[in-house]
Structure 1
Amino acid sequence: MSEKTASALAEEIGERLKQARLNQDLTQSEVASLAGVARKTVLNAEKGKVQLEILIAIMMALDLTDHLDLFLPIQQISPLQLAKLQGKKRQRASGQRRDPEKDMSEW
């Protein structure tokens, strides 16, 4: 899949949307009604010509939003990035500093 163009990948996603719709025995009009979009929008989505927000609405209508984690997993912060964010933590206490002149005056 990595060697395909963006357009080819968009078309493949559209084909997968269409197959998901057909697997659920839904018409384009029914999906459009569930997603709150026009039938023509569903048709365009199935051709790979869709805006992200519309794609998500159609995925919600087809009950496919659980697949978003497979499509684009949540990115965890690496331990190195986490360490940079936290900054340096103190490893030991330095103790209270005494004023040497004050100590001499108490004699």
Structure 2
Amino acid sequence: MKFNTAPVSAITQELGSRLKRARLNKNLTQQEVADKVGVARRTLVAAEQGNARLDTFVGIMQILGVADQLNLFLPEQDISPLQLAKLKGKQRQRASGHLSPDEDMEQW
């Protein structure tokens, strides 16, 4: 599957199918995985159809022992020093609070 050009719905369905195959390869029932993740069976069924919240998806991957694949799925990204400098330049400065009249007089 070409993930860069495929519709989002096709990608999520493919990921759901891969979760299902991983579950079947572990010889686990939907109920067993759902219980271990702490979700309802219907939530697991929805995930296997490509309709899962990210926390559910990751939880299922952990139970199936494939969560290490997340590093391949979305590798950690480094920020270049130049981009970091640009980001720091755009940070908002926090305004200093207003001084009370007594404190204002003490500074004179």
* Structure 1 unmatched ranges of 5 or more: 88-107
- What's the CA shift for 1:25? 0.7
Q: Which residue of 1 aligns with 2:42?
A: 40
- What's the CA shift for 1:26? 0.6
* Pairing 1:72-87 to 2, within 5 Å after superposition: 72-82=74-84
- What's the CA shift for 1:59? 1.0
Q: Which residue of 1 aligns with 2:61?
A: 59
RMSD: 1.7
- The one-letter code sitting in structure 2 at the alignment partner of 1:21 is R
Which string of whole-angstrom CA distances, capped at 9 and with x for unpartnered residues, describes residues 12-37 of structure 1? 00000001001111110111011111
Q: Which residue of 2 aligns with 1:8?
A: 10
Distance 1:46 1:79, change over 3 A: same
Q: Which residue of 1 aligns with 2:97?
A: none
Match of 1:68 among 46, 67, 70: 70
Percent identity between the two aligned chains:
53
TM-score normalised by structure 1 residue count: 0.73
- What's the CA shift for 1:78? 1.9
- The one-letter code sitting in structure 2 at the alignment partner of 1:7 is S
Query: What secondary structure does 1:3 align onto?
Result: coil
